Structure formats: C-alpha cells, structure tokens
Structure 1
Amino acid sequence: MRSRLSTYFGGLRGGRAGEAAWVGVSKGVSMCLSLFIAMALSRLMTPDDYGTYLQLLYVYGTLLVVFSLGLPGCYSYFLARVKSAGEGRGVVTKLTRLCVGMGGVFALSLFLLSDQLASLLGNAALGPGLRVFSVVPLAMMPAVGVEGIMVTCRRSRQLACYVCLSRLATLLCVVVTAWASGGDTGCVTVAFVAASVVSGAVGLWLSYSPFRGVTAVAGGLSYGEVMRFAMPVFYAGIYSFIISSSSQFFVSRYFGAGDFAVFSNGFREMPLAVIVTSAVGSVLLPELSRLALTDRDECIGVWCRSVYKSASVVWPVAVFCIVYAPEIMVTLFGEGYRCGSVLFRLASLICLVWIVPFFPLMTALGLSRNFAKVHLMTAILLVALDCLAVSFFPSLTMIAAIAVTTRLGGILLLFRSVSRHTEAALWRRLPLRDLARLLVASGTSCVAGKGLIAITGITDAPTALVAALAVAVMMYMVVGRWLGLEFRPLRGGEVPDNKIV
C-alpha cells in the first residue's frame, strides 16, 4: 500500500512527491478525525441537539467563504512567484494583515446577527451558540494561509503534524465534553471554541516559521494586486459554497434539525475523495502557477495526467461506497441512520467525476473569471431547483439528486470552458480507455463481494462490510491484472490511448 501511494504521488510532478504525500496525510487524518467526531456525537447527543451543533458549523462555514475574500488561495499563488525569503515574508505579512481585519469583521457580524441567523434557519437555539462561536473567526482567520505557506515552502511534513495534532485536540475536547455534559450543545460549543483558539495560535506561529530570522522586503506586491487576484476567487468561492451548502440550507430550513442530522451524515462525499482532490489541488496550484508562465501546454498536460492517478485511488473506493452504502451508514452512525444510505450513494457519484480540481488549472491559465461564471450559473440553477423541490417534492432524496445533477453539469461546463479558451479538446488528452478498465474492475470486484453476502446470509452490517471488503480487494487485484491495469507514473508526454475499445 505504501509503494502504491508513493508511485501515485511520485507521478504528479518531479520534486513535489513528498509534498503531495504529506498534504494527503494531513487531509486524511483531518477527515478521519472529523468522521470520528461525527460518529461519537451522533451517539452522545440527541438528533435535535446534534443537528443544532451541525447548524453552528454550517453557519460558520458559510460566512467563512464570504469573509475570507479568497485570501487563502493568494498565499500559494504569490509565494510561488517571489524571488527571495524576504519578499516571501513580506507577502505573508501583507496577506495576514488582511486576514486579521476580515476576521474581526467576521466575528462582529456573527455576534450581532446571531438571532437573525437563527431565525433564518428556523432554530431559536442557534442564537446563544452563535454568539459563543463568534470567537472562532478571531482565532482562526489569521492562520487560514498556513497550508498554502507550508506547501509552497516545502514544509508539508510540519503541516501534517500541525493538522493532525489540532484535529486530535478538537476531537478530545468535543467528545469528552459531550460525554461529561450528557450531550449539551452549549458545552460542546465552548469546547470547540477552546480547541480553535489553541489551533489558531499555533497555526499563526507556524505560518512565519519558514521566514524566522528573515527581514520582510517590499517586493512590489500591492493590496490592489492582491484584490485583483482574490476577487474572482472570492466570487467563485461564494458560488461554490452555495452549490455545496444550498441543499443543507433548504433541509435545515424546511425539514427540521432531526432530518438535517440524517442529511448531513448521509449526503457527504467519501473522505478519500476529498483527501486526494485537496492534496493534488494544494500541490498543483504553485506548480501550475510556475508552468503557466513558460509552457501552457505542459501546464494542461500535468493536470490531465493527474486525472488517471487520482481515479486509480478514488474510483475503487467510490464504487465500493455506492454498492455498500447501507452497511457503511449503519456501521458508522447506527441503525437509525440507515435511511441515509441513498443520500450517501448519490454523494459518491460525484466522486466518479470530481477527481482533480479545476481551480489550480484555471487559475494558472488566467481563467479565474470563467471559473467563477460557471459556478454562478450552477448555483443559480441549483437554488431554483431546490425551491421547486421543497414546494412540490419535499424529499431528502430529491434534494440530494438535484445537488448531484447540477454539480455534474457544472463539471461539464468547466471542461468546455478550458477547452474553448485553450483551443485544446481537454477530453482528448484524458486516458479514457484506462479509466474505463478501472471502472469495470472496480464494479466487478464489488459485485463479487455482494454475491458472497447474499450466499452466506450475513446480516450484521460491520461483519458484512469486512467480508465484502476482503473479497472486493482480492477480486480487484485479479480482475485488474486480467484487464491489464498497471499502476505506474505517467511522465512527460506519455498519456494512455484515449479510445475506449
């Protein structure tokens, strides 16, 4: 398994393999610990209290997109173009000042508008919690650029340690508090805030660690230049968040806290997909930013070659999640959340398409405005369809299906936008034949595991899941070898034949 991941990350781009690996580790641990928190709180809190806690995180995440102004992406983009450590420290200082100011505005808005936000979501219990939660942006906003800084400065190992320890501290604070307080939402919120304050302080210190002992040098980067880059990213971030959170809003507003808990646990992308896309995106942004200045064709080639490498890791797990969604939901969250399996299947469909982010490629090619426009169109369509759904077809499944359909449509529009503006048919450069073989191998192996469960009559969800996983892994190795799948890095201009024959 270790050699497989090393080969995967090694094929991304020479010299960046270790960075991608450590970013992947940090994302993976963060996602797993977040999942453990959800599993624990689902059992320690009532559905209504747990739903209220999730609504707190939802409101914070929504406003974070607005008040961050696209600044987190600026760190990687501008640091990749500086010529000295002094200029790098100057860039970090300038961006951090902006983040501190926006964090103050964010915290004040969250505190003053807490009751109005609670009324908007139809849950009066949110008001006091949001006022306590207003401390979080003050603590976390100054450290939002730590990932971009550490990846660009090739210190992803330290980033991984920071992320793992901060998420572990959050898990311990939140879960222990929930157990000790009997699942009280207020106590759990205070515990989360305390962990965030410590995490933010350490993150800010870590942001300056690559430049310790270096004097800041004015490199000519102005606030106007930062805003010219950040605003299209900011708009795209808002539209993207509308796309990802519109469904949650309508469920929270019209279905209640209990159904919101079911929807939040069920309609979530599998952690591995988020880990891979986030890790690849973090590494590709500074790399493509450099390449776009000298070789746009190679810039596109690097992105396309990353598609197969990501799919070879994500697709087998995505297909497994689709086939065994009921067993996964019961094992993770309990029998009461079995109904969320349909939602989990729909969310896993996105992972079959969204395997490499478009943001690094389109940003490097100067297509940030096009990226934002596509997300705007997708967001408008999604909100309109959600309004119709809650009025005429009030169903969690319908809400999830609309979200998946519009998301897939947006991905197709992004493909078309890049192809049109670069005069290169993007899909022709993808290894379609190898992708088809990969999908066949994944599907066949999972069906074999399903057959074993049917024959043996296993009914216990965890046992069935373990047995199916063992069979699926063995069958995948056999079928993959028979189909000629070979996990190897694609270098230079080497791209597999794109004909599905």
Structure 2
Amino acid sequence: MAEQSRTFKTLVIAASNAATALVSLLIAAILSRHFDYVDYATYRQTLLVYHFVGPLLALGLPAALYFFLPGEKRRARAVLLENLLLLALSGSVFALFLVCGGNLLIADRFSNPDLKITLLVFALYPVLFLPTTSTGSTLVAQNRVAWLTFHTIGTRLARLALVGLAILIFPHNPVAVVGATAISGGVVLLSGLVLMLRAVPRGEENRPTRGGMTSQLKYAVPIGLALMMEGIALSIDQVLVSALCRPEEYAVFVNGAMEIPFLKVLTAAATAVILPELVAFYKDGKKTEALGLWLKGARKLSLLILPMGGLLFVVAPDLMTVLYSAEYTESSGPFRIYLLLLPARMVFFTAIFQAAGRSDLILRRAVGTLILNAVISFPLVYCFGMEGAAWGTVIVFWGYVIPYCMRVCSRLLEIRWFNLMPLKHIGLNMLAITLAGVAAIQLRSLVSVEGGLPSGMVLGFFYVGILALLFFIFFPAEMKASFQSVRGRLQKSRTRG
C-alpha cells in the first residue's frame, strides 16, 4: 500500500508538470501566430530570465518541506510560514535587482531593448510566484495530492485565459502579455496559500522564528545547489542563443528547444515504480536483483519513448508548422537535434544514485554539465548559429553525462559498464525506428498531399504501421505480452460494464 501511495503521489506531480507544459505549449502556439519574431522573442526571453535564476532563488526550500513537515505536530504552521517567508524574501531581492537596473543589463546582454520594459513589468512575478513553488511539496507531505491536481490545472487555465484576454484587449503588445503572466502569478499565489494553510493546521507554535528559518536553510541549500546547477545547465543553451544571436533567431530556436510533456510523466512514473524496490535491493546487498529491475524498466520504457521520438523526428517540420505556423518550420532543426537525447532518457541513472544514498553525485554531474555545456556551446553558437547550442548540449550529454553516469553506476553496482544498458535491445529498437522512418518518408513522397497536418498524418500513419510490423519481428515476446495485457484489460472493462 505504501508503494502504491508513493507511486500515486509521483504520478500526480508528473501529471501536474505535464499539464503546466501543455498550457505553456498552447500559449507558445498562440503567441507564435499572433506576434512577429521580435515580439515573440521578447516574451520568451522575459520568461527565460526567471526560469534561468528560478532554481537559485528557490534555494531548495520547497524540497525541504518533505523533511520538516511530515510528523510535525507542534509547529507545522510555523514551519510552512518560515518556508514561505524565505521564498518571498528571495523573490523580492530579485525583483529589486530588476527594478534597480538589472533590466537594463539583461536587455543589453540579449541585444533586445524591448526587454527594458517587459522585465520591469515582470518584476512582480517572482515575488508572487516563488512562494507557490512550495505548494506541491506541502500538499504531498500532508497527503493532499488531489488538491494539487486541481490547483495546478485550475491556475494554469487561469493563466491561459489571462493571456488570451490580454491579446484581445491589447493586440500585438508583448508588454500586455507579460503583464497578464505576472498577474497570473497572483492567482497561483492566492490558490496556493489557501490550500497550503488548509492542509497545514495550527499547532502550539504558529509564528515563524529566526532559528526555524536557519534550520531550513542549512538543510535546503545543499539540495538547492544541485537543483540550481541542473536548472542552469538545462537553460544555458537558450541563454547563449539569446546573447549571441538576433531575437528573430532566438524565437525560432526556442520553439524547437522544447521538452516533450509526456516524457516527464513516463520517466517519473517509471522511477516511482522501481525506486522503492531498488533502494531495498541495494540496502540488502542484492545488487544483481537491483540491476535486473533497472534494466527491465529501461527495456519497457524504450518501447514507448524511442518510437515516439522517432515519430516526432519524422514529422518534425509538419509538427512545427501545425503548432507555430509555417514561419517556424525551421524550428524543426533544433527540435530534431534535441530528440537525439531520447535514447538516454529511458535509462534513469538518478534512481541508482538515490538508491545508493549518493545525492552528491547528482551535484557533481550538474556542475560538470554546466561548465562543459558553456565551454563547448559558446564557440558552436558563435560559428554555426542557433543550432550550435543544440549540438553543444547533445555533445556534452553523450560525451560526458552518459559516460560519467555509466562509470559511477557500474562502480556502485559492481559490474562492467557495458552491462548497464540493454545495448542489443536499444540497437534493434533504433534499427527498426530508422527503417520505419526512412520507409515512411519515401512512401510520403509518392502521395500527393499538402504540408502541415495532412502531411504529418500521412507520415505518421506510414511510420506507425511499418514500425509495428518491425517490432513484431524484432520483439515478438514483448509485443505478444503487451497485446495480451491490453486484451485482458479490455475484457475486464467489458465484464464490469
């Protein structure tokens, strides 16, 4: 029951993140059609500033509540208020930086004078939104996961409505859209505060204290440092493109450099399912069993993630046209490059680090990734433009992150590095995907159909059909088991009906 509860909580958080990503994608699709390149780049660069420094501002404080809230009866409300006050103070410091000239500095670095105004309007956002980053950890720690789902979906839809209203009232005005986004931070804050205060009851002590704040900072800062490094490492490509390329190029790049929403759901769900058993196996010294469980999860995940990645790679130009209009077809370039990271997504090395109790390895990996990404991507962007940033990230990931993780995990599990990944399984998977993709593109050339949605649907139909046939040839056991599982569930649902 405990495992189911843990898995359910993780799935709720992952689904909430996916909902946030989908709303962001929808807003980007609307604004790409509504704004020209410069105005759209101004909006995205304004958000980038917060996303880049957000992990630093949070200081790991939201995660600290997972440690301080469970089991706390006497001063639970005080713990929550201490956490929120620290986050509000951190957001206020950054807002003060923007108001006191930081906006001018950033606008100059990004070669976009329009940022001088939008960043001033946006200065209120970190003050309002940063405290709400503790909403998820508070509700999960207090077993109010259903509340989190309603909060996330409701507030993100409110943001979508506010942005849409701003477009209707002030057309072609990025300042208005940025202002609507800042106001949405207030909506998120109001909802989050109500739910957090309801979830955390009053106790004997309800007033925040300096000692309590100090305790949270001592616990949270090491975690925050790792999160900060990983967050900056993930955003450094966009920062380099903003600093070294024209706003028009950044607008095209940022639409392609996006995280596929369903990936977070799949990887988070898989990690949640195997992590408890993985920890138990590792603590009992059953490293062979831990490795078997890990590889089994990787194989199953590969049958979902890799084919989806192949489909997205094949239809990338049509997908960008459908999402963002024909003006952003070139966004398929960086989008396809980033899809080259997908084969490594199915192997969740962090689960091994966590099972071994070595969170310090995550920090070391993040520091190395950040430094190498900046060093390698800078000359690539300078020489090859926006796609250089994408190639820099891919080079660092496959040249450093994966070798680092495999070396460390092989040492932790006491095995050879080549036994860490189902290499034969991955190879056959990639072969099937490549053959299906090439065949689908060739068949598409024989069909007279316009670009965009019709072309993407035809390509997708050919790709899925050919890939399914190849999978039944290459993976007969897995496909048969999946087919029987689906058929069994359908029969059960009919019986219940």
Report the counterpart of residue 464 of structure 1 in structure 2: 455
Structure 1 residue 205: Cα displacement: 2.4
User: In the aligned structure 1, how far is the partner of 2:402 from the partner of 2:147?
Assistant: 33
Secondary structure of the structure 2 residue equivalent to 1:145 = helix
CA deviation after TM superposition for structure 1 residue 356, in Å: 5.4
Output the CA distance in 2 between the equivalents of 1:99 and 1:300: 38
Of residues 39, 43, 46, the one that matches 2:29 is 39
Give the Å deviation of 1:357.
4.9
Q: List aligned pairs for 1:218-257, cutoff 5 A.
A: 226-257=216-247
1:305-324 aligned at under 5 Å gives the runs 305-324=296-315
For 1:310 and 1:249, locate their aligned partners in 2 and report how far apart those are by CA, in whole Å. 31
Q: Distance in 1 between matches of 2:94 and 2:259?
A: 28
1:359 & 1:200 partners in 2: Cα distance?
Answer: 31
Report the CA distance between 1:324 and its aligned residue: 1.9
CA 427–106 in structure 1, closer or farther in 2 if over 3 Å, else same: farther
How many Å separate the matches in 2 of 1:285 and 1:223? 34
1:102 correspondence with 2:58: no
Q: Percent identity?
A: 23
Residues 177 and 187, structure 1, Cα contact 8 Å, conserved in 2: yes
Of 404, 407, 411 in structure 2, the residue corresponding to residue 413 of structure 1 is 404
**How many aligned residue pairs are there?**
472
1:404 to 369, 394, 417: 394
* Gaps in structure 1 of 5+ consecutive residues: 1-9, 489-501
Query: 2:60: which partner in 1?
Result: 70
Between 1:116-125 and 1:446-455, the stretch displaced more is 446-455
**Residues 136-151 of structure 1 correspond to what in structure 2 (within 5 A)?**
136-151=125-140
Task: Verify the 8 A CA contact 1:288 1:360 in the aligned structure 2.
Answer: no
Q: CA deviation at 1:154?
A: 4.3
TM-score (norm: length of structure 2): 0.83
Q: 1:267 aligns with which of 257, 260, 264?
A: 257
Judged with a 3 Å threshold, the aligned counterparts in structure 2 of structure 1 residues 89 and 431 are, in CA distance, closer, same or farther, namely farther
Instruction: Provide the secondary structure at the position in 2 that maps to 1:183.
Output: coil
Q: Measured at CA, do residues 325 and 86 of structure 1 come closer, stay the same or move farther in structure 2, by a change above 3 Å? A: farther
Q: Which residue is equivalent to 1:492?
A: none
Tell me, yes or no, if the aligned pair for 2:14 and 2:264 is still in contact at 8 Å: no
Per the TM alignment, residue 258 of structure 1 is displaced from its structure 2 partner at its CA by 0.6
Shift of 1:412: 2.6
Is the CA contact 1:330–1:461 (under 8 Å) kept in the aligned structure 2?
yes
- Higher mean alpha-carbon deviation, 427-436 vs 342-351, is at 427-436
Query: Contact 1:75–1:148 at 8 Å: present in 2 too?
Result: yes
2: CA distance, partners of 1:74 / 1:115: 34
Q: Which residue of 1 aligns with 2:169?
A: 180
Q: How large is the RMSD of aligned CA atoms in angstroms?
A: 3.4
Does the alignment pair 1:193 with 2:210?
Answer: no
What CA deviation, in whole Å up to 9, does each residue of 1:209-255 have, x standing for no partner? 4334666699xx96566445433332323322332222212211221
Which residue of structure 1 lines up, in the alignment, with residue 153 of structure 2?
164
Work out the CA distance in 1 between the residues paired with 2:127 and 2:418: 44
Structure 2 distance, partners of 1:292, 1:227, is: 32
| Rg larger in structure | 2
- Residue 325 of structure 2 corresponds to residue 334 of structure 1: yes
More helix by share: 2
- Which residue of 103, 108, 111 corresponds with 1:114? 103
Q: Verify the 8 A CA contact 2:410 2:420 in the aligned structure 1.
A: no
For the structure 1 residues 110 and 400, does the alpha-carbon distance in structure 2 shift closer, same or farther, using more than 3 Å as the test?
Answer: same
Give the Cα–Cα distance (whole angstroms) in 2 for the partners of residues 53 and 421 of structure 1: 45
> Residue 399 of structure 1: CA displacement?
2.3
Per-residue Cα deviation, 1:95-126 (whole angstroms, up to 9, x for no partner): 33332332222322232222222222222221
User: Which is further off, 127-136 or 291-300?
Assistant: 291-300
Shift of 1:84: 5.4
3-state SS, counterpart of residue 113 of structure 2? coil
Contact 2:349 2:405 in 1 (8 A): yes
C-alpha deviations, 1:383-407, integer Å up to 9, x for none? 122332344x142222221121112
1:497 matched residue in structure 2: none
- Cα distance in 2 between the residues matched to 1:84 and 1:53: 42
User: Do the aligned partners of residues 182 and 315 (structure 1) sit closer, same or farther apart at CA in structure 2, a change above 3 Å counting?
Assistant: same
1:17-46 C-alpha deviation (Å, 9 max, x unpaired): 433443343233222221111010001111
Give yes or no for contact 1:33–1:171 (8 Å, CA) kept in 2: yes
1:188 deviates by 0.8
For the Cα contact (< 8 Å) 2:356–2:412, is it kept in 1? Answer: no
CA distance in 2 between partners of 1:225 and 1:297 (Å):
36
Shift of 1:326: 1.3
How far, CA to CA, are the matches of 2:417 and 2:282 in structure 1?
20
Q: How does 1:242-391 map to 2 (within 5 A)?
A: 242-278=232-268, 283=272, 295=284, 305-355=296-346, 357-359=348-350, 361-363=352-354, 365-391=356-382
Structure 1 residues 291 and 117, CA gap change in structure 2 (3 angstroms): farther
Judge which range, 176-185 or 19-28, deviates more: 19-28
Deviates more, 1:42-51 or 1:62-71: 62-71
- The structural deviation recorded for 1:478 is 3.5
